[in-house]
């Protein structure tokens, strides 16, 4: 089983769960280098999981409450784990054995997209990259994409 579970969070930020050390935190995408170091890590305890469970029960209608990735990765109940994995699947980026593997994955993406980044101005490249990665994963394209989105899509596809 891979150690790091990675989910899209907000505006070019990833939510990372370290299942081995039982920690979670965020990492942001940097315009030039890829993925920054993991920051604001917190321990995951039974109380943390119960808090996320209560938050989900109370706010399950609110799509901005990010409880499902935690419950999908750390719940003791296999049925709850599967249910939340399905709910969070759209935001799931992948699993990685080491944090260095995760950083290298994004470094490769940044090297691959260097010419597109040079040619077009992206207000928040990390968000655009994650949006296009999601579209490729779902095999979808959108009518509201502009030229730079299509260029990014074509280079990543």
Residue 143 confidence (pLDDT): 84
Pairing of strands 39-43, 34-35: unpaired
Dump pLDDT digits (tens) for 58-97.
Answer: 887 766 567 889 999 999 999 999 999 988 888 899 999 9
Please report, to the nearest 10 degrees, the dihedral formed by the alpha carbons of residues 15, 85, 5, 109 taken in order. -80
> Which of the 8 DSSP states describes residue 12?
T
pLDDT digits (tens, 9 = 90+) for 130-148: 999 999 998 888 888 999 9
- The 10 Å Cβ neighbour count of residue 142 is 11
- In this prediction, residue 42 carries a pLDDT of 93
Between CA 4 and CA 145 the distance in angstroms is: 31
Q: What is the pTM of this model?
A: 0.85
Of 84, 64, 60, 62, give the one whose Cα is nearest residue 72.
84
Cα–Cα dist 2/20, whole Å: 9
Q: Would the pLDDT of 1 be above 70?
A: no
Question: Any bridge partners for residue 4, and if so which?
Answer: 18, 96
Find out whether 18 and 95 touch, Cβ atoms under 8 Å.
Answer: no
Residue 10: predicted pLDDT: 82
The reported pLDDT for the residue numbered 58 is 87
């Amino acid at each position: 089983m891979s150690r790091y579970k990675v989910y899209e969070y907000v505006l070019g930020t990833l939510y990372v769960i370290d299942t081995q050390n039982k920690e979670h935190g965020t990492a942001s995408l940097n315009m030039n280098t890829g993925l920054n170091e993991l920051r604001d890590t917190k321990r995951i305890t039974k109380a943390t999981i119960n808090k996320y469970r209560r938050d989900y029960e109370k706010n399950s209608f609110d799509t901005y409450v990010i409880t499902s990735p935690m419950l999908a990765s750390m719940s003791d109940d296999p049925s709850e784990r599967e249910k939340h994995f399905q709910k969070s699947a759209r935001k799931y980026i992948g699993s990685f054995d080491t944090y260095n593997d995760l950083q290298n994955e994004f470094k490769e993406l940044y090297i691959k997209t260097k010419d597109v980044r040079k040619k077009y101005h992206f207000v928040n490249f990390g968000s655009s990259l994650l949006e296009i990665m999601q579209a490729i994963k779902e095999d979808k394209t959108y009518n509201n994409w502009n030229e730079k989105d299509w260029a990014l899509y074509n280079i990543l596809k």
